[in-house]
Amino acid sequence: MPILECILIEAENGQISLTANNMELGISTVISGDIVTPGTIAIDAKMFSEMVKKLPDNDVTIEANDSNYEVTIQCEEAFFRVRGKDGDEFTKLPSIDRDQYFTINQFDLKQVINQTIFSIATNENNKIMCGELFEVNGNNLRVTSLDGYRISIRNVELKDDYGKFKKIVPGKTLSEISKILTGEADSEVLVYVTNNHILFEFDDTVVVSRLIEGEYFHVEQMLTGDYATKVTINKRKLMSCFDRATLFIRESDKKPIIIDISDEGIDLKLVSNMGSFEEHAVAEKTGKDLTIGFNPRFFMDILKVIDEEDINIYMMNSKAPCFIKDAEATYTYLLIPVSFSVPE
């Protein structure tokens, strides 16, 4: 449907609204301007976006011809003429019931998305893994994502009791929302849910998305408080070690970083076709000594989104999942270790 490749511009009732809709995700926002003659027109979204980027930083005038849908876009001495489409053919955003909802400030929503979105699957073969589970239980929101190698869980306290429900939200939708959220702590987002859709409303913008149907994975059975080894380490120090180690890994490589844990701290080793890396880092250890291997990029993804200065890493053995979590359980990250051969 070529019309879905367009942005709909509506100038009426003293407002100028822009809408995009691909039947899975729809976004509409309102901007200010002077309306000389009310009307609607649909313009190719990619072309319109590129034109706007290249226009001078000044007022823009848009005129559309009702008979042939030719659109003139003028800014200072720059003129664009493009062929638009009949705005009446555009598929409007679906009407969403607003009975079930919760509110969350922009800062928390943007943060919870950014701290979990990296661990959704990119393979469309499993749609459930391409989304995140939003669970509301009273005044708590829990967001979960997984890709088969790691699990990310974030808990956010809400202002009120909103009942109990859970929905699977597409990762693509959450990525788009994160881009347009300002992240202000005093700006609220209203989130409405139905059986098939979720709607985010903030500032002058509305985002409507289809939900992913199906039963999300029961991750509770993988979450345990048992551990044989606990390591407390400065996050920035560990990130720097991993960053240096990844210099010897190409995108296609699957070389693990091997970590030896003892009373003296941790020793990191990595060997690839490009070279080798070793580094010692000071850390506090509780429990047994352990040697364990990880995908360094997966581990780095987790470290990048944690704000705390020191982190706690919990491990049972070299084959069981590793946990990185705080005492308050505001975040929990599970990472499956990888097999390895000890470098010589």
pTM: 0.91
- Cβ contacts of 201 within 8 Å, gap of 6 or more: 189, 190, 191, 192, 207
pLDDT of residue 255: 83
Model confidence over 299-334: pLDDT tens digits?
Answer: 999 999 999 999 999 999 999 999 999 999 899 999
Q: Classify domain 100-220 by CATH number.
A: 3.10.150.10
Domain boundaries, the chain: 2-89, 100-220, 223-335
Query: Which pLDDT score is estimated for 251?
Result: 67
pLDDT of the residue at 342 = 60
Q: What is the pLDDT of residue 252?
A: 66
- 160-172: average pLDDT: 97
The dihedral formed by the CA atoms of 60, 66, 68 and 69, expressed in degrees to the nearest 10: 40
Which residue type is seen at 179?
A: K
What value does the mean pLDDT take over residues 339-344? 66
Instruction: Give Cα separations from 156 to 147, 186, 204 (angstroms).
Output: 22, 16, 24
241: left (phi over 0), alpha (psi -120 to 50) or beta: alpha
Q: Is the pLDDT of residue 343 over 70?
A: no
**Is the pLDDT assigned to residue 83 strictly greater than 70?**
yes
pLDDT digits (tens, 9 = 90+) for 28-53: 999 999 999 999 999 999 999 999 99
Q: In the structure encoding, which two tokens stand for residue 291, read together? A: 């040697």
Q: What is the pLDDT of residues 4-36, one digit of tens each?
A: 999 999 999 889 999 999 999 999 999 999 999
For residues 165-180, average pLDDT: 96
Sign of CA dihedral 286, 311, 132, 294: negative
pLDDT score of 341 more than 80: no
Alpha carbon 42 to chain centroid, angstroms: 29
CA distance 171 to 121: 9
What is the rounded distance in angstroms from the CA atom of residue 175 to the CA atom of residue 294? Answer: 27
Give the single-character DSSP code of 213.
P
Q: Mutual orientation of helices 235-245 and 296-305 as an angle, nearest 10°?
A: 150
Residue 344 above 60 pLDDT? no
Q: The domain at 2-89 falls in which architecture?
A: Roll (3.10)
Nearest-angstrom CA–CA distance, 198 and 220? 25
Q: Would you say the CATH fold of 223-335 matches that of 2-89? A: yes
Given a contact cutoff of 8 angstroms between Cβ atoms, the answer to whether 227 and 314 are in contact is yes
Any idea which architecture 223-335 has in CATH? Roll (3.10)
The stretch 283-294 carries a mean pLDDT of 96
pLDDT, tens digit, for every residue of 222-273? 888 899 999 999 999 999 999 998 888 876 677 889 999 999 999 999 988 8
- Residue 309, classed as helix, strand or coil, is coil
Question: What is the per-residue pLDDT for 325?
Answer: 95
Q: Give me the sheet containing 310-315, strands edge to edge.
A: 164-170, 131-137, 140-146, 150-157, 331-335, 322-325, 310-315, 229-234, 284-287
β-sheet bridge partners, residue 25: 209
pLDDT at 204: 92
User: Please, where are the H alpha helices in the chain?
Assistant: 45-54, 106-114, 171-180, 235-245, 296-305
Euclidean distance between the first and the last CA atom of the chain, given in angstroms as a whole number = 59
